[in-house]
């Protein structure tokens, strides 16, 4: 439920709430690659780029889908470029 709550919050662009839900979900089960992936995407949206990179790296190490990783890293790069 926490994971889906994070997805919903993200869809509504309520990034702090999304981050909170994904972090809660990871405290219950830290072995879910998709949760790390979406946490990373949410962190990127609020400008926490180093934290986002760490979450995405964790997702990749845990076997997150390649297409999802490419999209998440592309969005991170875009947001970093916008912040400069």
Q: What is the tally of structural domains in the chain?
A: 1
Read off the pLDDT of residues 54-64 as tens digits, 9 standing for 90 and up: 999 999 999 99
Read off the pLDDT of residues 28-84 as tens digits, 9 standing for 90 and up: 999 999 999 999 999 999 999 999 999 999 999 999 999 999 999 999 999 999 998
pLDDT of 84 reads 81
Q: What's the rounded Cα separation, in Å, for the pair 23 and 39?
A: 7
CB neighbour burial string for 34-66, b if at least 16 within 10 angstroms, e if fewer: bbbbbbbbbbbbeebbebbbebbebbbeeebee
pLDDT of 38 reads 98
Confidence of residue 19 (pLDDT cuts 50, 70, 90): very high
38: domain CATH number is 1.25.40.10
Residue 51 neighbours by CB under 8 Å, 6+ apart:
40, 43
- Which structural domain range is residue 10 located in? 2-83
pLDDT of 31 reads 96
């Amino acid at each position: 439920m926490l994971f889906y709550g994070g997805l919903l919050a993200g869809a509504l662009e309520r990034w702090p709430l999304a981050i909170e839900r994904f972090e809660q979900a990871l405290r219950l089960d830290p072995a879910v690659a998709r949760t790390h992936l979406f946490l990373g995407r949410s962190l990127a949206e609020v400008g926490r780029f180093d934290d986002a990179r760490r979450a995405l790296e964790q997702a990749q190490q845990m076997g997150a889908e390649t297409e999802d990783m490419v999209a998440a890293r592309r969005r991170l790069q875009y947001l970093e470029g916008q912040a400069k």
